Amino acid sequence: MTIPIPAALLSVVAGCLGALVGSFLNVCIHRLPREMSVRHPARSFCPHCSRTIPWFHNLPVLSWLFLRGRCASCHQSIPVRYLLVECLTAALFACAAWKTGPAQPELLAAEVILLSLLVAATFIDLEHLIIPDEITLGGVAAGLACSALWPQLQGETALWRGLAFSCAGATAGYGLLWAVAELGRLAMGRQRLTFEKPVPFEWKRSGDAAELTVEGESMDWAEFFVRGSEQVRMHVTGGTLDGRAVGAGDWVWGFEKLQCEGGVLDLNKVERIDLSITSLVLPREVMGYGDVKLLAAIGAFLGWKAVLFTVLTGSILGALLGVAAILSGRRDLATKIPFGPYLAAGAALWLFAGPALLKAYWTVVTAAAAGPGQ
């Protein structure tokens, strides 16, 4: 089979561009969760020694391999994630160019924007269990704009229809996972722990953040207050509050307020609380709202059919990994991977082969329903 030279050349160029974009995505992946600007400083720097990285040590893929994954200044290890992001982005851009071909450059531009957002969302979610609004809400805005400029992204020709289908996709994406998140919270929104004997509980402030520790397991305090209105409840048998002894009773915690001993305390003025408890009720979310907004962005780019395909495929991938983790004795692996990467994988699969897979599935279903000899 003869490979068309223009398509092959476009794929090579797109792959090289993808590696460059992947280098920038690494900046976003490092800085956005830490609320750092992606523009200042403009030059990349080593997170260990903070020295500016010269351009010849910042070449995508090549520099990591040449430096053997270490900073040239302080010789500290550079995470392999930098190499993976650049290689993955390059591969995705090349595949998108091969699929789309040189006849539809506008469609290719929209697809590589979406793929870039999916890569950044995946690696940030894997490391920090969040997806920043710059990616999700920015993705919704980008999807609406691309669909209005290039309605063929939604399979339409009129600009207004492209925008209308993009709005419908974003609404479907947000609404579907919002409903799942709300129903899940109502059904499984609390984790209740009861102990036969009193166990140690510690709440400790560190600057503007705080963490709690129960039976040696530490957790970030903020993760229990996604909405801000949640409550942590417990029965206390005794302990100390900033060194002051406290007695038994039922305590109710908000993010910044604590109801105990007949009064309300401002947790911003408390440094450390050590208690013995016999019961603990923790709020929990079955799904982060970053996932909800990410699916809205996917819908804005790809439409409502892609939303349904993405959720179904992401769920199947999650279930398969869960089964594989259990069979391999790594049950904890499945719980450590958030849903965002599965959604990103489902959206990428739709982009490259989704309509063809649906057509093949419908052909099989139709043939099975017709029965033999029909």
Q: Judging by beta carbons within 10 Å of its beta carbon (0-12, 13-18, 19+), is residue 93 exposed, middle or buried?
A: buried
**Number of domains the chain contains:** 3
What is the sign, positive or negative, of the torsion defined by CA atoms of 265, 268, 272, 276?
A: positive
- Do 98 and 110 lie in one domain? The reply is no
Which candidate, 276, 269, 274, 342, places its Cα nearest to that of 312?
Answer: 342
Tokens representing residue 83 in the block: 């190499």
- Do 216 and 341 lie in one domain? The reply is no
Average pLDDT, the chain: 89
Evaluate the omega torsion of the peptide bond into residue 198 and state whether it is cis, within 30 degrees of 0.
no
Domain extent at residue 164:
106-189+290-374
- Do 3 and 94 lie in one domain? The reply is yes
- Do 364 and 277 lie in one domain? The reply is no
Mean pLDDT of 232-240: 95
pLDDT in tens, 359-372: 887 888 787 777 66
Domain C-terminal end among 85, 103, 121: 103
Q: How confident is the model at residue 19 (pLDDT cuts 50, 70, 90)?
A: very high
- Do 111 and 90 lie in one domain? The reply is no
- Do 140 and 204 lie in one domain? The reply is no
Tell me the DSSP string of 242-285.
TTEEE-SEEEEE-SSEEEETTEEEEGGG--EEEEEEEEEEEE--
pLDDT in tens, 259-310: 998 899 999 999 999 999 999 998 877 677 899 999 999 999 999 999 999 9
Mean pLDDT of 223-233: 83
- Do 325 and 342 lie in one domain? The reply is yes
Residue 188 confidence (pLDDT):
67
Three-class secondary structure of residue 210 per DSSP: strand
Task: Assign residue 195 a region (left: φ > 0; alpha: ψ between -120 and 50; beta: otherwise).
Answer: beta
pLDDT in tens, 247-258: 999 999 999 999
